[in-house]
Structure 1
Amino acid sequence: MEGFAEVSRNRGKKTAWIPDQHGAWAMLTVPFLAGAFLSPHPGARHALLLAAWLLGYAAVFHAQQWLRLRRVAARRPQVARRHVRPALVLGAATALAGIPLAALHPWLLLAGAAAAPFVAVNSWFAHANRERALVNGLVAVVPACGMLLVAARLGGGGLPWAPAAACLLYFAGTVPYVKTMIRERNSPTYYCGSVAYHAVATALAACLSPWLALPFAAYLARAAALPGRGLKVAVVGAVEIVGSAALLASLLLVF
């Protein structure tokens, strides 16, 4: 996953079992927690689904790294093979956590099938060694935010499209914004595109709820003011963690 997952990436730990795209964890957990706590009956089922969700992400991460490194490190196959064991073990752990839930709630299989095309696109980008492509990041955001709907439904609720849309607006915005802070920090095109996106997102969020205009206006301000200031990566990451926490709090308060 891209977006502000790019913020804390540590290239020196590529073979660690826990994926080093630390910012991705916020994108994985915030929509899920929002859906769980907005549902009528949050509980143990959510804990099991969250475990399966996070383990599944880690398994897919290692599988995609294996795909990528088979190509870019063809003369050193052992580099790619280091990701095989984590992918298999974490995949098995995902199945152990997910199969009991799927047996009780077969519709979860449909949710998994809906996410599969997005995972396939991300896997293609990994194979092509283009993980940091803008499109790849935006594609990864969709199933992550869709977990809000899954978590809400698991808790006996409906399908709260408005908070899911708010998550999509925020996390999609992190993709171009973080690029303006790191890899594309000298690109006027990325900067203008990021600011324009956040302006539109603020207007759309206000349509979902006038109260959402407040956090989204802050996201717009940071997209306009922070690029070009030479902030350290750790600071950029901290700002995004605060932004994610503010989004979760806003969703729980508004909806």
Structure 2
Amino acid sequence: MAGRGPGWVPNQHGAWAMLASPLLVGVLAGGPAWVHLPLTAFWFAGYLAFFATGLWLKSGRRARWWPPVRAYIPLATALGLVVLLADPGLLVWAPGFALPLGVGLWASARRRERDLLVGLTTVVGSSLMTVVAYAAGPGPGPDGDLGRAWLLALVQVLYFGGTVFYVKSAIRERGNVAFLRLSVVVHALATLAVLPLSWWLAGVFATLTARAAVVPPRGVSPKALGLGEVVGTVVVGVVSLLVT
């Protein structure tokens, strides 16, 4: 597929963790259900459509970038309809994704997709899937309580929000002392935010804070950053599930 033209295969490797983690945490917390199968397919197809559309807009709507848009949007739409047929109640969550989607596409059209605010908005939208996946399972019970799901989503926001600063301080803003300090402060505030939930979780975030201070100045490669993010994503997800 990649050989057919540009835009078919996303090259933002960190985005896959941001897609998979909230979804998986929500499934594990709320319990698996059959609707999670089409929901997962729709979630990833939706990202493929979003990525391809963003590149098409960034190119100035050039025809060369249109084929993956034409393929992925109908696929995501069809899968979305399957999800709604399986669980019509999930439609209530659709408006929550409108703002992140709109901001992301607007930024791509203006070649500003690397802006800090855009990254943070994307994090919020992605983390909302924790609650959606939880609500789709048997976890909420007859009273529909989503308290645990929102706490888990908050942890996802704090973690991935921190990675936006961390990765930027190590690559695009490398050498920018002010931005490095901002990244460390953001991580420290996240540590304080999770402290009421668990000392264990706060310990994980404190370690991430130390990483944010030490690693970027050393000039670590993007591959090494990516591997570190995989480990961080797994640890945060597992610990949050154990302590909430």
TM-score in terms of structure 1 length: 0.87
Alignment partner, residue 212 of structure 1: 201
- Quote the residue 1:6 is aligned against: none
Matched, 1:138 2:129: no
Q: Post-superposition shift, 1:33? A: 0.2
**Residue 94 of structure 1: how far off its partner (Å):** 1.3
* CA distance in 1 between partners of 2:80 and 2:236 (Å): 28
Counterpart CA distance in 2 for 1:170 and 1:14 is 34
Aligned-pair identity in percent equals 38
Which structure ranks higher in relative contact order (CA pairs < 8 Å, sequence separation ≥ 6)? 1
Quick check: 1:57 aligned with 2:39? no
Q: 1:14·1:20 contact (CA, 8 Å) conserved in 2? A: no
> How does 1:11-90 map onto structure 2 within 5 Å?
15-39=6-30, 41-70=31-60, 80-90=62-72
Asked if structure 2 preserves the Cα contact closer than 8 Å seen for 1:194 and 1:223, the reply is yes
Equivalents in 2 of 1:81, 1:57: separation in Å?
Answer: 20
Confirm or deny: 8 A CA contact 1:36 1:46 kept in the other structure.
yes
1:106-125 paired onto structure 2 within 5 Å: 106-125=88-107
Between the aligned partners of 1:16 and 1:125, the Cα distance in structure 2 is: 17
Q: From the superposition, tell whether residues 104 and 48 of structure 1 become closer, same or farther in structure 2 (CA, over 3 Å).
A: closer
Amino acid at match of 1:88: R
Distance 2:34 2:175 in 1: 47
The answer to whether the 8 A contact 2:7-2:52 is kept is no
Gaps of 5+ in 1: 1-12, 71-76
Residue of structure 2 in register with 1:240 after alignment: 229
Deviation per residue, 1:142-197 (Å, 9 max, x gap): 11000000000000223221111111100001111111100000111110100001
Unaligned regions of 5+ residues in structure 2, if any?
141-145
TM-superposed CA distance for 1:81, in Å, is 2.1
Partner of 2:241: 252
Give the CA deviation at 1:14. 8.3
- Over aligned residues, Cα RMSD in angstroms? 1.6
Q: Indicate the SS of the match to 2:32.
A: coil
Whether 2:135 is the aligned partner of 1:153: answer yes
1:16 CA displacement: 4.2
Aligned length: 234
CA spacing shift, 1:43–1:105, aligned 2, 3 Å: closer
Letter in 2 for 1:189: A
Q: Distance in 2 between matches of 1:234 and 1:224?
A: 19
Cα–Cα, structure 1 residues 197 and 129, in superposed 2: closer, same or farther, change >3 Å?
Answer: same
Describe the SS at the equivalent of 1:130: coil
Match of 2:138, as an amino acid?
Answer: G
